[in-house]
Amino acid sequence: MLSRSHTPLLSHAYTNIPSPTNRFKYRPPCIVFVSRSNGEGLERRIIQKKREQERLAACGDSSELPFLEKIFNILDRAITEFLDPPLHFSVDPAKILSGNGAPVDELIPTKCEIVHGTIPSCLSGVYIRNGPNPQFAPKGPYHFLDGDGMVHSIKISHGRATFCSRYVKTNKYLFEKQVRPHVVPNVIGGMRGLGSFIARATLFGARVLFSGYNIGKGIGVANTNLAFLGGKLYALCESDIPYAIKIKDDGDVITLGHHDFNGNLSMNMTAHPKIDPVTKEAFAFRYWATRPYLTYFRFDKDGNKQPDVPIYSMKQPSLTHDLAITQKYAIICDIQVRACPMNLIRGEPLVGVDQTKIMSSKNLEFPVINPAYIGKKNKYIYAAIADQTQSGLRMMRASGVVKLDITASSEEGEDQHECTMASRMYENNCFGGEPFFIAREAENPNSEEDDGYVVSYVHHESSCESRFLVMDARSPTLEVVAVVKLPQRVPYGLHGIFIRENDLYQM
C-alpha cells in the first residue's frame, strides 16, 4: 500500500459501502508503478417542479418526428414495458431525476448577487464543475452517470461574479438534439437484463444504420471531470476522448469539439489525468475489456500526446478509476473491483452484500488536495462528508466538508479524531458536492500548503436555491468568507476545476 501522505489515489472514497458480490469479483489489490518518462419557497418550488416535469416530458411529443423514428420510439417503449426487469432504486429515473437531481436548462452568462462577505481578490478566474444533466427524459433504466455533460461555471473578476450553465456539445448531444428522442442507449443503466440489453443494442444499431449517426465520433457524454493541459480546457468522461471547451471573456462556455490530439488519441482515456504543477506534463491511461487491459500515456507541457505504453502485467480487465504520480513514477492501482460482463446484464442488484464487519460508518467523498502538491508529499486533504440519508443521490451529495491532517492519523479506532483539523456542516437540508482548494498565493513557493480557500456549490432543498461558498481553509471551522447566490439551481454533480485569470488568456 502507498504511504497515506501520498496524493489520494481515488476521486471517490467509499468507507461504508458493502463490498459488491453480485456484479463484481473481488481479488486482493495491487499497484502498478510506471516510469513517468515512459510510461429557493413553496410557490416557487411548485413552478420549478412544473417546469422540470415539462422539460422531462418534452421528448414525449413525437408529432414532428420522421416515420421511422416513430417506429423506433414504439420499440423503445416496448422494451421498457415488456423486457426490462423491475427497476432497481439505483436506476429508476423517477428517483434519480427528482429534487436537485432533475436536469436544468442552459443559462447564458448572468450576474450574481453576493449575499454574504466579499470574494477574495486571489479568486480572480473561473470555477467550473461538470456533471450529468440529461437533455431528454430517459427511456427505461437510467443511472446517474448516464446523463449528458453540463458544466456550471462562475467567473470571478474584481470581486464580482457571473454564472453560466452550458451543455458540452458532444456528438451524442448534437445528434439527439436534432432527432429529439433519447437515441443512444444508457451505457450503465441499460445493463438490466440480457433480453433488454440485446434489444436496445439492436435498436441502436438500426438507428445508426438508418439515421446517419456517426458512431465513429463517439457516444460519450463528457460529464465527469475537467482538465486544463497544454493551455486548453477539456471536458472528460471515461467512455470517450476529450472534448475541448473554451471560456469566453463574458463568462460563456462554448464547445470546440472532439479533440484527438492530432490523431494520436483514437480511443477513450481516463477522466482523471494528473498534471504535474512543475513540469506541466499530464499523465493518463485507459482501461479496456481486452488485452492490453491497461494502456499508459502522457502529454508534454504543450499538450502533445506521447506514445502509448501497454501494461501487460494486468491479467484481467479492471475498473481502474484514477492514478497518482510522484516525481519519478505514475502509480496505477490494479483494484479489487472487476467487471463480470454476464452478471452486468442479468438484471441483478447493482450492489451485493458481503457479510463482513463494517469498520466505520463514516463516509467521506470527493477528496482533494492543494493542486500544487500533486506529485509531492502532502499533509492536508479536503473531503466532502457524504450524506447519510436514503436518497437516490446519496453518494453524490454532501452534508459538509472536512479538512484532514493525514500525518496525524491513527488506526486505534473510528472514534479517534486527531486527524480532523477542521470541519463545517452545511445548514439543515442543504447539501453540497466536491470541495476544491484554491491557493491564496499560487505563485509563491514559500506559502503554506493550507493557505487558501475551499470552494463548493451547495443547494438548499427547502428554498430551492443554489449558492457558491468560499471558506477559509486555515480556519478551524472552515469559516465562510463569501456566499454567492446563483441565478439558477445547480444539480448535484461530479468534479470541478479552478482556472486562474492569467491562464484564461491562453485559451
The SS3 assignment for 53 reads helix
Sign of CA dihedral 80, 84, 87, 93: negative
Closest CA to 211 of 71, 58, 59: 71
Write out the three cell numbers for 346: 442479468
CB 222 within 8 A of CB 236: yes
CB 97 within 8 A of CB 239: no
Closest CA to 274 of 229, 233, 305, 231: 229
Residue 130's DSSP bridge partners are: 151
Q: Which residue has the cell 414525449?
A: 60
CB 287 within 8 A of CB 319: yes
**272 known member of a binding site:** yes
Distance CA 95, CA 392 (A): 6
**258 known member of a binding site:** no
Output the CA–CA distances (angstroms, integers) from residue 64 to 61, 181, 239, in the order listed.
8, 11, 32
Q: Which residue has the cell 453480485?
A: 22
Distance CA 426, CA 393 (A): 17
What amino acid occupies position 400?
G
Residues 6+ apart with CB under 8 A from 301: 230, 279, 280, 281
What amino acid occupies position 154?
I
The SS3 assignment for 141 reads coil
Q: Which residue has the cell 420510439?
A: 73
CA end-to-end span of the chain, whole Å? 39
Closest CA to 190 of 205, 200, 180: 200
User: Binding site membership for Fe cation: which residues?
Assistant: 272, 321
User: Binding site membership: which residues?
Assistant: 272, 321
